[in-house]
Chain A
């Protein structure tokens, strides 16, 4: 089947048609009636050119028409070479380096532009595909033709590229579809990166590496660790961080800016977020900061409710609460209250608001909805039943020395009874679920609870229990790529899932896979921490329980190395130079011959030789 090499030249045939139509119209003889036939005969004998001139004119016309037609046909059909003479098509694999170092400055953008230029420079028969690494393995795209759009730069892959897998993939790469077997295509790998990748030799594949960008300085948070405070410590934990440059990092938390490699966080945090940053922005900005969440403090706000008839809250009770929970803000609320009460710890002194939201309850002489209280009783020292041993999260001290003029017992309750009156009524009760609750029938202003050491110890132990932070299942800062063992807190049958947190991962990078963690028989589970830095979300069912931040450190990549590879991919993809012969010049020669003949005919006409 005939294929036109330069099909657009066929439009020149329209010019030839127009030329011949005009020529024929101009040479059309118009009939005119005349007289003086003898005079016209003599005139014709005088002015009609001789036969040789007419022959010359005819020859020139035929030559011009023939050469022009041949020229147009050759340009339109082209000089199709035999398959052996035609340049071999190119099978090009454009490998875009998507390691972390390519994120420095605009290396990725430059490499992507180069890929676009290479695609645009391909020949009609050439084919190319784009490739990059995903989780360390080569990922090959589909076959592209010249002028194809390479799309945006590939996402960053934090895993180490597997060059052997790349070699195996290229050596076994099947030829593109519809590519003729003759001549055999040239196979080439163009590596667009920031240095020589030191690829292993590949059989039948030419490798060209080209570097983009320039050397740049980079600083990064390469190590970070958070140590929670021990029970009883007044600080909020210790953050230890290290920068690639060796300088002191900047740690921001609770609206404060701290500097140092080891920093003690303030005890009370307005925010759970702690950010560790480098001192100055640099070429790679993604590793300049790490944010993580510290374990949440149990009690931050306290609401002290009292009957509105009292006028004010019991000052002794308020003072004691402030002593037990230093640093917390204690607000007093007269009940009934106009608005719902929201606090971490709600202390109800004989009055409980109808609507409230609290993590823990400390009740004095007022029962929860559903419970009921009995008439006040006199509680004399040493006249109470012994304390019942129940696991309520803290140990109840001996309250036998506390006496009350009017103690308010519970007659019906869902709480666990701890201290009973001698007559059997429940004076102290507690519960851990659904929220820590302590009921105390010793009303402060009617008893010696606040003055008695055992009474104070009871309140101290309860507040210690409710303000202790939840034990995290995983540390808030973890090194990326290293396994971590998680332990079940209660039920080993619970299933945990870990997924990347979309808002806290590096942009334009491959997300790590979401996994489910199943505890083993011993209650532990090993989690292979992924390579992708940023925050990950640990879920228990549908509820997020922890959000560890992965600290990624690769000294080679984060140093942003740059080494000119010295390759020129654009020059390499061009077909090898071929020796031209007369057939390549024939169309141009015919064109110039036609033009020359036209000029000759015109000159002869100007000179009067031709009519």
Chain B
């Protein structure tokens, strides 16, 4: 049985977050907040369970008659935000005492939950998937199950970014990509596609503590993920060289991501999820 992504306390904190997409703020009310302008002839989008304070006029009484539960209707206006959550499922993501893969799934699930709570459309997929999974306002548990069961791809599988994500309504989309950028080309290709489609892109670069500060000493047989073994006598000089190479690599990744008009947030797999949300708020993607 897969490990739960969040505990109850984390779930409560996530529900308090609201999406604040830049384009939605500029073009008028969208989603849940705009749904209060009921009667404007918008297209029905989804249902959401009634909570105290909702306008009773928005209650779908037909559903109530069938299920004996109160649901309110959510209308998808033409400017509704599409949140694209993409997890880099490279084999190198499954690494670290605090798994990078788990950290990436938590981060994307948190963003997805916030988006669903705001009645946005959420599309989730792995970098190697050709088709994304769509989640609407009632899909919280399904979203959690989806990310909870998500696995990395095999060592021989090839990442093929789903370009269909940006074929329609690209300017209403926000791409959140969680990756370690060790196989940089597929991730950068996805960010490039998002830029071309006019979608805003945010890259979350996930690191493991063992990658940032490897604890190696003496004669060591290095066994890189999806690469050949390497015998090396590790000492202070070797570690210094590694950290120097790592700094160059991180700088190169940062430049490449920024060059594609995307924001880059670096996440330590051992860190809690709250700092990531703070970074997203600072980036203007979500607000509490």
Q: Are B241 and A34 in contact (CB under 8 A)?
A: no
A44–B226 Cα gap in the complex (Å)? 18
Which one of A28, A29, A33, A43 lies within 8 Å of B242 (CB-CB)?
Answer: A43
Provide the B234-249 mask, 1 if CB < 8 A to any CB of A, else 0: 0001100110011001
Q: Are B220 and A32 in contact (CB under 8 A)?
A: yes
Asked if A31 meets B225 with Cβ closer than 8 Å, knowing A39-B242, A43-B241, the reply is: no
Q: Are B249 and A27 in contact (CB under 8 A)?
A: no
Q: Are A43 and B245 in contact (CB under 8 A)?
A: yes
Within 8 A of A (CB), among B217-272: 218-228, 230-233, 237-238, 241-242, 245-246, 249
Asked if A47 meets B180 with Cβ closer than 8 Å, knowing A29-B221, A32-B221, A39-B242, the reply is: no
Q: Are B211 and A35 in contact (CB under 8 A)?
A: yes
A178 contacts B by Cβ under 8 Å? no
A571 contacts B by Cβ under 8 Å? no
B214 contacts A by Cβ under 8 Å? yes
List 17 additional A-B contacts (Cβ < 8 Å) besides A37-B225, A43-B238, A46-B241: A26-B218, A28-B219, A29-B231, A30-B218, A32-B216, A33-B223, A33-B225, A34-B225, A35-B224, A36-B211, A36-B224, A36-B249, A39-B245, A40-B222, A40-B242, A47-B237, A47-B238
- With a CB–CB cut-off of 8 A, which chain B residues contact A46? 241
- Residue of A at shortest CB range from B218? A30
A307–B218 Cα gap in the complex (Å)? 126
Q: Are B219 and A36 in contact (CB under 8 A)?
A: no
Size bin of chain B's contact surface: 20 to 34
Q: Are A32 and B222 in contact (CB under 8 A)?
A: yes
| Minimum C-beta distance from A43 to chain B (A) | 5
A181 contacts B by Cβ under 8 Å? no
Which one of B208, B219, B220, B237 lies within 8 Å of A35 (CB-CB)?
Answer: B208
A28–B232 Cα gap in the complex (Å)? 11
| Minimum C-beta distance from A128 to chain B (A) | 61
Which one of B216, B221, B230, B238 lies within 8 Å of A41 (CB-CB)?
Answer: B230
A42 contacts B by Cβ under 8 Å? yes
A606 contacts B by Cβ under 8 Å? no
Asked if A35 meets B225 with Cβ closer than 8 Å, knowing A27-B219, A29-B231, A40-B230, the reply is: yes
**Chain A interface residue count, Cβ-Cβ cutoff 8 angstroms:** 23
A132–B237 Cα gap in the complex (Å)? 82
Contact surface of B with A, Cβ cutoff 8 Å: 92, 95, 180, 182, 208, 210-211, 214, 216, 218-228, 230-233, 237-238, 241-242, 245-246, 249
A30–B238 Cα gap in the complex (Å)? 16
Q: Which 4 A-B pairs have the closest CB atoms?
A: A37-B224, A37-B227, A29-B221, A39-B245
- Residue of A at shortest CB range from B94? A35
Q: Are A48 and B224 in contact (CB under 8 A)?
A: no
Contact surface of A with B, Cβ cutoff 8 Å: 26-44, 46-48, 611
Q: Are B230 and A44 in contact (CB under 8 A)?
A: yes
| Minimum C-beta distance from A459 to chain B (A) | 126
- With a CB–CB cut-off of 8 A, which chain A residues contact B182? 35-36, 38
Q: Are A32 and B238 in contact (CB under 8 A)?
A: no
- Residue of B at shortest CB range from A46? B241
Which one of A30, A33, A37, A39 lies within 8 Å of B246 (CB-CB)?
Answer: A39
A47–B220 Cα gap in the complex (Å)? 14
| Minimum C-beta distance from A22 to chain B (A) | 13
Q: Are B216 and A39 in contact (CB under 8 A)?
A: no
Q: Are A47 and B232 in contact (CB under 8 A)?
A: yes
- With a CB–CB cut-off of 8 A, which chain A residues contact B230? 37, 40-41, 44
- With a CB–CB cut-off of 8 A, which chain B residues contact A37? 224-228, 230
| Minimum C-beta distance from B190 to chain A (A) | 20
Q: Are B224 and A34 in contact (CB under 8 A)?
A: yes
| Minimum C-beta distance from A36 to chain B (A) | 6
Q: Are B245 and A34 in contact (CB under 8 A)?
A: no
| Minimum C-beta distance from A104 to chain B (A) | 79
Which one of A33, A38, A39, A41 lies within 8 Å of B95 (CB-CB)?
Answer: A33
Q: Are A34 and B218 in contact (CB under 8 A)?
A: no
- With a CB–CB cut-off of 8 A, which chain B residues contact A42? 245
Q: Are B223 and A31 in contact (CB under 8 A)?
A: yes
27 contacts between A and B (CB under 8 A): A26-B218, A28-B219, A30-B219, A31-B221, A32-B221, A33-B95, A33-B225, A34-B210, A34-B222, A34-B223, A35-B225, A36-B182, A36-B224, A36-B249, A37-B224, A37-B225, A37-B226, A37-B228, A39-B242, A39-B246, A40-B230, A41-B230, A43-B241, A43-B245, A47-B232, A47-B238, A611-B233
A600–B244 Cα gap in the complex (Å)? 33
A20–B246 Cα gap in the complex (Å)? 37
- With a CB–CB cut-off of 8 A, which chain A residues contact B228? 37
- With a CB–CB cut-off of 8 A, which chain A residues contact B211? 34-36
- Residue of B at shortest CB range from A30? B220
A27–B92 Cα gap in the complex (Å)? 29
| Minimum C-beta distance from A269 to chain B (A) | 105
Asked if A40 meets B226 with Cβ closer than 8 Å, knowing A28-B219, A34-B214, the reply is: no
- With a CB–CB cut-off of 8 A, which chain B residues contact A48? 232
Q: Are A44 and B232 in contact (CB under 8 A)?
A: yes
- Residue of B at shortest CB range from A42? B245
- Residue of B at shortest CB range from A35? B92
Q: Are A32 and B223 in contact (CB under 8 A)?
A: yes
A28–B217 Cα gap in the complex (Å)? 12
A44–B214 Cα gap in the complex (Å)? 15
| Minimum C-beta distance from B118 to chain A (A) | 35
Asked if A35 meets B180 with Cβ closer than 8 Å, knowing A40-B224, A44-B230, A44-B232, the reply is: yes
Q: Are A39 and B221 in contact (CB under 8 A)?
A: no
Q: Are B219 and A29 in contact (CB under 8 A)?
A: yes
| Minimum C-beta distance from B195 to chain A (A) | 26
A36–B237 Cα gap in the complex (Å)? 18
A600–B63 Cα gap in the complex (Å)? 90
- With a CB–CB cut-off of 8 A, which chain B residues contact A29? 219-221, 231
A30–B217 Cα gap in the complex (Å)? 9
Q: Are B223 and A36 in contact (CB under 8 A)?
A: no
- Residue of B at shortest CB range from A31? B221
- With a CB–CB cut-off of 8 A, which chain B residues contact A28? 219
- With a CB–CB cut-off of 8 A, which chain B residues contact A35? 92, 95, 180, 182, 208, 211, 224-225
- Residue of A at shortest CB range from B232? A44
Q: Are B238 and A36 in contact (CB under 8 A)?
A: no
| Minimum C-beta distance from B152 to chain A (A) | 12
- With a CB–CB cut-off of 8 A, which chain A residues contact B223? 31-34
Q: Which of A27, A33, A38, A43 has the most CB of B within 10 A?
A: A43
| Minimum C-beta distance from B212 to chain A (A) | 10
- With a CB–CB cut-off of 8 A, which chain A residues contact B246? 36, 39
